[in-house]
Amino acid sequence: MGKKEELKDIIWEIWKISLNAKRFLQYSFYLHKPDTADELEYLKTSRDFKFIARALWRNAVIELSKLFNSSKNRDKFNIFHFISKLEKNGHYRDFKIDQAKIDNWYAQIDENKKTIDLINGLRDKVYAHTDGPSDKNGLDTPTFEQTEKLIVIIESVIKEIYSSIFNTHAMTDSPTLKLEPSKIIKVLAAEKKSRLKEVENLLKKNND
């Protein structure tokens, strides 16, 4: 396999991990912060959706930790290792990725180091093992907004590789990838509101 085919396989694997993280994050975000008060009230009283929201957030953390763990030996597709291969003395140096872009990626990663450390801490101490007590002492949780910035960094790398090397556009915001987590919640919240209204009307009628 030539280096170009090898690179294409690797960036596709990185994209798949990023896409999974993005999907988990978007659904989890909506379950925590829906559009309407009715939806929020429904979700607050649903044990099922509370469990689903936590599970989605956990999966988002695990997927992102695959991309932002700096160990070369632990996560094969981590972004630190990948970017280093694009450097002038790196494995993919022949593709001549603009050094200014590489420096900008490193700068963005550095700006988000706190979030990256939190994600990796959660993964290592809380979410990686489910067969024993988790150590949450001293751990904080990043916001959805902070976490989303990590996906933006990955998508920036993906777009540049596809544009510069494969002369095509990576549609990270393609309509076919658009998620609509609000649909089912809106339906369920409206259905519950309708049922409560029927009960309320029935009680009012009986009291008249």
Residue at 6: amino acid letter? E
Low-confidence ranges of the chain (pLDDT < 70): 72-74, 128-140, 174-182, 196-197, 199-208
What pLDDT, on the 0 to 100 scale, is given for residue 146?
A: 93
Which pLDDT score, from 0 to 100, does residue 42 have?
86
Question: What is the per-residue pLDDT for 177?
Answer: 54
> Are 61 and 123 within 8 A, CB to CB?
yes
pLDDT at 173: 74
Q: What integer pLDDT is reported at residue 133 of this predicted model?
A: 47
The Cα angle at residue 61 between residues 150 and 113, in degrees rounded to 5: 40
Residue 191: predicted pLDDT = 79
Contact, 56 vs 50, CB < 8 A?
no
Q: What is the pLDDT at residue 187?
A: 77
Cβ atoms of 145 and 139 within 8 Å: the answer is no
pTM: 0.83
Contacts of residue 59, defined as CB under 8 A and 6 or more positions apart, other chains included, come to 20, 24
The residue count of the chain comes to 208
Burial of 105 (0-12, 13-18, 19+ CB in 10 A): buried
Reading the block at residue 179, the tokens are 């998620």
Tell me how far apart the alpha carbons of residues 61 and 25 are, in angstroms, rounded to a whole number. 9
